[in-house]
């Protein structure tokens, strides 16, 4: 089959590789749609990822499709079932898994290779994070389960309360999913009173408004983001700040935008071995909570698929279109140039 293989920095090739065969407890799906992701873009631009993959490797991690092969011992699934699989599964045995802190699992299994006609799903994912697609839900919508699960994990870890003023930095797919989840009041009795979004694309900021943002700003037109945030919050600063760009300078700005007692969710992953400077006086006397939040857990995978299927938010706005696998290189260039948000890749 023809599949995408990442060799290094902006070195993505379509190559003929053997069709996958399921082993014990595994399945193979025919990919109905594989959505592109901001994490894929970062990995493509940086040439690797500290946890998810090391080149050369099959590429892509968001997909939904139909089961076409079952390995020995698989129970509860049938050929022809429409399914979506998370790209990971925790080991269930390590120090963190025993404390149900699954995103910190020290043996977290990752699965890549969605940009291909066929995708093998390892046994641990089949056991823990393979879900049936609800009737009527498209493959491309179901494929967004994984990134939304990460976002719902991030929302839950942000200590958001009804009526909070939230500053969100970043208008990529992840940032826009945060807007949708927050505006819907996910895990809250009522949504935040204000969701202020700062990003780099007028078109994406318009999508943010449609998803529930109350104020949007182009970052290049904002000379002092902490001051702008105080303007919207009676001169205090945001109750919750979510950084979703993965830039060290943005992490530092995010910390400066929080009110005393704020939670700063440093969600966007920065390049390996980068550092930031923190004002210790501000951190200490303002009792700030700084949180790094990574990936998702099986609970949030299920919550994400249910959220998508509920139609609570028009998440279809994040899909800029479909493209055949043969155009994957062009799609990544358009993502780099911020011409598209997410694209559903379909086999040629």
95 and 21 housed in the same domain: yes
Last residue of a domain, one of 277, 292, 307: 292
Tokens of 185: 């009041």
pLDDT band for position 307 (cuts 50, 70, 90): very high
Query: Do 145 and 162 belong to one domain?
Result: no
Question: Do residues 8 and 116 both lie within one domain?
Answer: yes
CATH number at residue 70: 3.90.180.10
The CB density around residue 228, as the number of other CB atoms within 10 Å, is 18
User: Which string of DSSP letters, residue by residue, matches 11-44?
Assistant: EEEEEE-PPP---TT-EEEEEEEEE--HHHHHHH
Q: Which helix (DSSP H) or strand (DSSP E) does residue 251 occupy?
A: helix 248-256
CA 280, CA 310: separation in Å to the nearest integer? 44
pLDDT of residue 152: 97
Averaged pLDDT for residues 126-139: 98
Same domain (yes/no): 90, 174: no
Reported as a pLDDT band with limits 50, 70 and 90, residue 48 is confident
Q: Is the pTM of this model over 0.75?
A: yes
pLDDT value at position 25? Answer: 98
Q: Which of 46-50, 163-167, 243-247, 332-336 has the lowest mean pLDDT?
A: 46-50
Could you tell me the CA-to-CA distances from 26 to 172, 190, 214, 246, 262 in Å, in that order? Answer: 33, 41, 45, 34, 44
pLDDT in tens, 9-44: 888 999 999 999 999 999 999 999 999 998 888 888
The pLDDT of residue 189 is 83
* CB atoms near residue 158 (< 10 Å): 25
- Indicate the helix (H) or strand (E) that contains 198: strand 194-199
Which residue range forms the structural domain that includes residue 125?
Answer: 2-149+296-346
Residue 137 neighbours by CB distance under 10 Å: 18
CATH number, domain at 239? 3.40.50.720
Does residue 122 sit in the same domain as residue 227? no
**How many structural domains is the chain composed of?**
2
Q: What is the pLDDT of residue 50?
A: 65
Q: Angle 121-126-132 (CA atoms, 0-180°, nearest 5)?
A: 100
Write down the pLDDT at residue 51.
72
pLDDT at 184: 95
CA distances, 191 to each of 79, 246, 259, 309 (Å): 41, 25, 19, 20
Pair 285, 327 in one domain: no
Q: What is the pLDDT of residue 301?
A: 98
């Amino acid at each position: 089959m023809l599949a995408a293989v990442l060799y290094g920095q902006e070195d993505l090739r379509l190559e003929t590789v053997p069709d996958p065969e399921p082993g014990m407890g595994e399945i193979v799906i025919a990919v109905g749609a594989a959505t592109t992701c901001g994490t894929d873009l970062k990995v493509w631009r940086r040439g690797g990822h500290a946890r998810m993959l090391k080149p050369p490797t099959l590429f892509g991690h968001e997909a939904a499709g139909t089961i076409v092969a079952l390995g020995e011992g698989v129970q509860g699934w049938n050929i022809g079932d429409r399914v979506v699989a998370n790209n990971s599964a925790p080991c269930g045995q390590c120090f963190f898994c025993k404390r149900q802190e699954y995103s910190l699992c020290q043996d977290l299994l990752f699965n890549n290779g969605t940009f291909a006609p066929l995708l093998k799903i390892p046994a641990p994912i089949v056991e823990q994070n393979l879900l049936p697609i609800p009737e009527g839900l498209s493959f491309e919508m179901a494929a967004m389960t994984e990134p939304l699960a990460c976002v719902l994990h991030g929302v839950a870890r942000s200590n958001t309360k009804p009526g909070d003023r939230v500053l969100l930095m970043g208008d990529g797919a992840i940032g826009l999913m945060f807007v949708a989840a927050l505006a819907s009041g996910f895990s809250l009795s009522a949504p935040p009173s204000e969701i202020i979004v700062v990003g780099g694309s007028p078109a994406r900021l318009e999508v943010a408004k449609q998803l529930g943002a109350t104020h949007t700003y182009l970052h290049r037109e904002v000379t002092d983001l902490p001051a702008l945030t105080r303007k919207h919050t009676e001169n205090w600063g945001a109750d919750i700040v979510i950084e979703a760009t993965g830039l060290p300078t943005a992490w530092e700005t995010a910390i400066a935008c929080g009110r005393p007692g704020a939670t700063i969710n440093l969600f966007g992953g920065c390049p390996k071995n980068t550092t930031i400077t923190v004002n210790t006086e501000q951190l200490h006397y303002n009792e700030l909570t700084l949180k790094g939040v990574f990936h998702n857990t099986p609970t949030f995978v299920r919550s994400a698929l249910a959220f998508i299927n509920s139609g609570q938010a028009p998440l279809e706005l994040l899909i800029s279109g479909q493209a055949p696998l043969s155009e994957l290189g062009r799609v990544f260039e358009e993502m780099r140039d911020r011409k598209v948000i997410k694209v559903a890749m379909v086999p040629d």
